[in-house]
Amino acid sequence: MPFEVKADEPNAVTCAAMQAAENNADMHGPYNSVREMMADLDS
């Protein structure tokens, strides 16, 4: 590799987000469907 690979510890916010994802917590968004989300992304 042309650069040094580092494995720093994630910060508290990142750790909390990873733990929530592992526990399927807070897994929602402002969209009710993929179609709504894609329409917003395409605009």
The tens digit of pLDDT for each residue in 4-13 reads 988 789 999 9
Q: Is residue 30 part of a domain?
A: yes
pTM, whole model, 2 decimals? 0.50
Q: Is residue 18 part of a domain?
A: yes
Q: What is the DSSP string of 14-34?
A: HHHHHHHHHTT-S---S-SSH
Q: Is residue 2 part of a domain?
A: no
Domain that holds residue 26: 12-42
Q: Is residue 1 part of a domain?
A: no
- pLDDT value, residue 36: 92
Nearest to 41 by CA among 31, 1, 22: 31
Q: How many structural domains is the chain composed of?
A: 1
Q: Is residue 29 part of a domain?
A: yes
Q: Is residue 27 part of a domain?
A: yes
**Mean of the per-residue pLDDT values of the chain:** 89
